[in-house]
Amino acid sequence: MRSLNSQPGYNLQTAVETQSHLIVAHEVVCEVSDQRQLQPMAEAASRVLQQPCTVVADAGYANGEHIAALDAQGITSYVAPNRAVNNKGDGSLYERSAFIYDPVSDSFTCPAGKALKRKQLSRKDKVVIYAAQPSDCTPCTRKPECTTARQRFVTRHLYEEALEANASRLAAQPWMMALRRQTVEHPFASIKHLILGNARLLMRHTSGARAEFSLAVMAYNLKRVFNMKGALWMLQALRG
């Protein structure tokens, strides 16, 4: 992938176990965003741990489709939300939560009691767009608190239930984000600055980058085990 300075680069992914801080899964991808990495990394970590794991990730990994797919496999996610609360305005307008969704009629009801009906599907953003009638919005006394447009629009994600369940879990256990920082930041920093040096890969092309990153991960894990278990244990383990 291309970076800001037009130099080739790679997106390095790691899954770190919270107790040992060992890297249990890693990958090199050529996508700038982390949006499509939650499910493959969680599944890879679960295979190594030989059981469905609990996943904690930052907002860059917020992907409703992936969260729903992991839920179906018994893999619980705690992913920081990355969602806008207003379609328009400076934050002073009604948030999406002010509108009540009815799954039977597949429509929203606004704070004034008017219906917002399904208008269109955005496959790119994976959301359904709902719109109020201009004839309902124009005379409404609450319009200044709701929208600056002719009518109010509200979106609902195709995997809204999974996103809401994730948000509820995170609200109940907000310390999970602190756990993420304590777990993943140190191993990544160690690899970037102490093992790779200046956070640069020497190999080119995806195959070379993967080979070099695998060696870096192995070096980190060996150093980590050495620090946890000591020299004698390490020597005995290496001898088998």
pLDDT digits (tens, 9 = 90+) for 113-134: 999 999 999 988 899 999 999 9
Task: Collapse the DSSP code of 29 into the 3-class scheme (helix H, G, I; strand E, B; otherwise coil) and give the result.
Answer: strand
Return the pLDDT at 43. Answer: 98
Return the pLDDT at 2. Answer: 64
Counting as low any pLDDT under 70, the low residues of the chain are 1-6, 84-90
CB 35 within 8 A of CB 63: yes
Return the pLDDT at 112. Answer: 96
* List of residues 6+ apart from 111 with CB closer than 8 A: 94, 98, 99, 142, 146
Return the pLDDT at 73. Answer: 96
pTM tops 0.95? no
How many Å is the Cα radius of gyration of the chain? 23
CB 66 within 8 A of CB 55: no
Domains of the chain: residue spans and CATH: 11-82+163-239 (3.30.420), 96-151 (no CATH)
As a dihedral over the C-alpha atoms of residue 126, residue 128, residue 134, residue 135, rounded to 10 degrees, the angle is 180
Return the pLDDT at 187. Answer: 93
Phi/psi for 2 (5° steps) reads -95, 140
Alpha-carbon gap, residue 7 to 238, rounded angstroms: 40
Alpha-carbon gap, residue 217 to 201, rounded angstroms: 13
Burial class (CB within 10 angstroms; exposed 0-12, middle 13-18, buried 19+) of 70: buried
The kind and range of the H/E element at 43 are helix 38-49
Beta strands in 86-190 (DSSP E): 100-102, 107-109, 115-122, 127-132, 153-157
